[in-house]
Structure 1
Amino acid sequence: MNSTKVYSLLLLFLFTFSFCSKKDVDSDMLDENLTEETYFPPLNSSEWETKSIAALNWNENQLQPLLDFLEEKNTKSFMILYNGKIVVEEYFNNHTATASWYWASAGKTLTATVSGIAQDENLLNINDKVSDYLGTGWTSTSLEKENQITCKNLLSMTSGLDDSLGDDVSPENLKYVADAENRWAYHNVYVKMQDVVANASKTTFTNYFNTKLKDKIGMSGLWTNVNDLSVYWSNTRSMARFGLLISADGKWEDTQIVSESFLNEATNTSQTINKAYGYLWWLNGKESYHLPATQAQFNGKLIPNAPNDLFAALGKNDQKIYVVPSKKLVIIRMGASAENSNFALSNFDDDLWAKINAVID
């Protein structure tokens, strides 16, 4: 065999060995990440373990374009958790790690979760009518129509009450449009579930929330009332803690905070009209969806660029908690509206996921 052939064979061997070795390393990294146990940050501590983009074999050169995009779109904070560990944590536009920002309607999912906890404790049943807990006359509808409305209808936005009358939830502003279960409409009447929980637990909603959820997972923050809206404010890591709890099927370390069975209901289609809505959670990957302030049905996925199994807490002006079970991801975005003021979903969701995919794929 001449020297040219020997040299060629040697190069081929070295290339094959190098390729296989890298493939084996990448495979080992993937296997390790898939089998790693979920990490939970300690309570009442700033300690939080991290994981590098390199360790996840993500595309590090695509991170800066993502961060530039976020800053341009009025973002205040952004986090990516993988299996509980922080991979990305960035603050923009003079916001800081200790500063609070509003969750807006992303905080609806806090109410849903606390409702599930109360049901787990046999304090209430979401299939009961709301008047069992609030008494009759909590709406201005007839007694017959009012008694059709269950707690589940509040959680799934199918109360049948008029959503065009503003956010006031006093009885005179809660008027009949359709029988419960027959119409999906994004309505602030969901907040009556906080009264249900308070009455069922014989304490205030805030006390119950703090004791059963906030304190148990180390969240900061507080509820405020703005123009008859109950709004939660916290730092970004507190929002991430809540997202982590949900992604871990309701467990925090070895403690079941809210039952997996309730969360399974909450993060799957809750009624027959808006396939992309659970119990105050938005769901991706469905064949159609409805949006606030319209009765129109839109065909296709809620966020086309996002994974099908994503579910999300979405708040006014682009407050986001994305949970992606298949990828072990929790992603947080807080800030001002990326473009135009919106109730929940916006074009920003799909554009953001295009940038996220460039990093994680």
Structure 2
Amino acid sequence: MKLFKYIFIFTCLCSVLSCSSDNDSSDDENPQNEDIYFPPINSDTWETKTIAELNWNESQLQPLLDFLEEKNSKSFMIVHNGKIVVEEYFNGHVNTTPWYWASAGKTLTTAVVGIAQDEGLIDINNKVSDYLGTGWTSATLDKENLITCKNLLSMDSGLDDTLGDDVSSANLQYVADAGSRWAYHNVYVKLQDVVATASNSTWDDYFELKLKDKIGMSGSWIDLGSLSVYWSNTRSMARFGLLTYANGNWETEQIIPEPYLNDATNTSQSINQAYGYLWWLNGKSTYHLPQTQFEFSGELIPNAPTDMYAALGKNDQKIYVVPSKKLVIIRMGESADDENFGLSDFDNELWAKINALIN
């Protein structure tokens, strides 16, 4: 009788272990549970996965693509956990054609500042004049010395945002104490000077060495007078989005420090809940927009997931990162409707179409 009992127990254990093994195998084959994929650095190879593998609604793909084409898009990508699911080009654009990032490229500056801080070259809590010297603004010395590198990342420098993109000293005029007023302003580019000075290099060289080359991006900064705008192909924008989605990691190398990136993609100051370090944040109860001091109620993009954060550039250049859905989504092109500074009604309309596909 005891022998029968032991055999019964042994059989049950074997059955449980077999089920556990089957479940583990099933999980390994489920694309929702796979490790993040990183495309090779010196290759055009980029692995893909199908809409069917993800159980998305394939009938909604063509309506999404038709909408994108109608809205003056040049390119569109959806990347799931590193692998390409959708990659389309429109209106004469091809996969090798460079296009401007506009203000979506601000987040490249965010990343490089984090790298420089991790290397001990700068501290974002230090005042900007520690690196650029005094007189980089036309504010009085006591007011200028209130402005830290973090204020430039957070857009709360207190400098006048109504005087255009020129960031010469004469054009950087005091309006309010740093930290007391949020205003979208081109003064953030002074961070590129901070990095160049602290690294005893040029901005372009440091950027290429520490970020661009490490993840296999193409492209370059184009000087447009008071503005330096990044141009690249669509896949390079997606590579940067993937780096950010992977918490600053690329394969085995931590490129952007994860704690810094976490700060960058969360509310950075007390005025505009929907702004981090040059990243826009969804899911907040209020937000501010460029060229206004008005506070709007509700989420930035109601149709988008609440954990989404985004790099938004003039005329609807977009990097959407959605950790909960393992997505990086890219849109490049002309303005979908009217000229804009980044956020537009197009964002919410586009996310309605994306939701129809992925849900």
Q: Same fold (TM over 0.5)?
A: yes
SS of aligned partner of 2:320: strand
Listed as ranges, the gaps of 5+ residues in structure 1 are 1-24
The match for 2:174 among 167, 173, 176 is 176
Q: How many angstroms apart in 1 are the aligned matches of 2:244 and 2:351?
A: 20
Question: 2:156 — aligned with what?
Answer: 158
The one-letter code matched in structure 2 to 1:47 is T
The match for 1:74 among 63, 72, 75 is 72
Question: 1:241 — aligned with what?
Answer: 239
TM-score normalised according to structure 2 size: 0.92
Question: 2:347 — aligned with what?
Answer: 349
The one-letter code matched in structure 1 to 2:269 is Q
Structure 1 residue 226: deviation in Å?
A: 1.2
Correspondence 1:177-196 to 2 at 5 A: 177-196=175-194
Listed as ranges, the gaps of 5+ residues in structure 2 are 1-22
Question: 1:97 — aligned with what?
Answer: 95
Question: 1:290 — aligned with what?
Answer: 288
Q: Does 1:267 align with 2:265?
A: yes
The one-letter code matched in structure 1 to 2:63 is P
The one-letter code matched in structure 1 to 2:353 is K
Percent identity, aligned pairs only, is 73
Structure 1 residue 67: deviation in Å?
A: 0.1
SS of aligned partner of 1:305: coil
TM-score normalised according to structure 1 size: 0.92
Structure 1 residue 31: deviation in Å?
A: 7.8
Q: How many angstroms apart in 2 are the aligned matches of 1:356 and 1:95?
A: 21
The match for 1:45 among 38, 43, 46 is 43
Q: Does 1:225 align with 2:215?
A: no
- Root-mean-square deviation over aligned CA pairs: 1.5
Answer yes or no: is the 8 Å Cα contact 2:27–2:33 preserved in 1: no
Aligned residues: 337
Structure 1 residue 225: deviation in Å?
A: 1.3
Q: How many angstroms apart in 1 are the aligned matches of 2:90 and 2:156?
A: 38
Answer yes or no: is the 8 Å Cα contact 2:147–2:157 preserved in 1: yes
Deviations 1:89-147 (A, max 9, x none): 00000000000000000000000100000000010000000000000000000000000
Question: 1:8 — aligned with what?
Answer: none
Answer yes or no: is the 8 Å Cα contact 1:75–1:333 preserved in 2: yes
Deviations 1:257-315 (A, max 9, x none): 01100100000000000000000000000000000000000000000000000000000
The one-letter code matched in structure 2 to 1:128 is N
SS of aligned partner of 2:74: strand
Structure 1 runs (4+) greater than 4 angstroms displaced: 28-31
Q: How many angstroms apart in 2 are the aligned matches of 1:264 and 1:182?
A: 23
